[in-house]
Amino acid sequence: MPRGLIIEDDTIISANIVEATTKIMTLEQAFDGEEGLFKASQNIYDIIILDLMLPKISGFDVLKKIREYKIDTAVLILSAKDSVHDKIDGFNLGADDYLAKPFNLNELQMRIKALLKRTMKFEMDSELKYKDMILSDNRTIISGDQSINLPGKEYEFLTYLLENKNTILTKEQIFDRVWGFTSDTSITVVEVYMSNIRKKLKTIGYEKMIRTIRNVGYLVEPDEK
């Protein structure tokens, strides 16, 4: 499931959006610009929902900074500032969409789905493929006539790797994406789960598709035959 970040200081609006999007994605919250920028800069999200009028750091400055960091995550601005000038400023800084407050939650859902599809991070009933191996959305690896179940975090872990083929993902990125900032688990859990995933992949001959980048993280090799 895609993972999003909402940076909104109004706790009621934030909670309503979280509730409205539970079937679309997992949405984490930040309540001021400073916290939002810190989380967004980890580059582990598929979409960022960003208010403009924030404490500590404005939404405009948050957007400017993450684009300076070369983070291309889709950004949907939510703001009571709905003048043409404000919208132009937002788009010039790198926003992907702009929705004025007050807004309809159904429209917000449609905007989010459209952005996630555009960035190739969201597909209903999707399957991820690597050569002749399929990672199905029912948490199963299928290769030929063999199938392997991947429970919970194993599925999320492998999904994240396959969504980012030929890209090095650090252990910190994986931990933050799969377990989250607030997890009490140690980052060493990443290595434990990688070992478990490799053992399962070995039964179908795919254990070498994931390369360990020493002291950094992991890379799924390109799947050209």
Mean pLDDT by 10 residues, the chain (225 residues): 92 95 91 96 92 94 92 89 77 86 88 77 62 85 89 87 88 84 77 92 92 92 71
Tokens describing residue 159 = 């999904």
- Whether 76 and 50 have beta carbons less than 8 Å apart is answered as yes
Identify the CA nearest to 133 among candidates 193, 205, 196.
Answer: 205
- Whether 149 and 140 have beta carbons less than 8 Å apart is answered as yes
Supply the pLDDT for residue 125.
44
Supply the pLDDT for residue 183.
65
Residue 98 pairs in a beta bridge with 77
Neighbours of 13 (CB within 10 A): 16
C-alpha 135/C-alpha 148 separation (Å) is 9
Neighbours of 150 (CB within 10 A): 21
Supply the pLDDT for residue 182.
59
Q: DSSP assignment, residue 221? A: P
Neighbours of 106 (CB within 10 A): 9
C-alpha 178/C-alpha 195 separation (Å) is 16
Q: DSSP assignment, residue 208? A: G
Residue type, 58: S
Name the phi and psi angles at 88, rounded to 5. Answer: -60, -45
C-alpha 116/C-alpha 6 separation (Å) is 15
Tokens describing residue 17 = 């959006």
78-to-19, 75, 142, 149, 221 alpha-carbon distances in Å: 17, 10, 41, 39, 38
Residue 97 pairs in a beta bridge with 76
Tokens describing residue 92 = 């010039």
Tokens describing residue 199 = 């053992």
Q: DSSP assignment, residue 205? A: T
Supply the pLDDT for residue 124.
44
pTM, two decimal places: 0.62
C-alpha 170/C-alpha 40 separation (Å) is 16
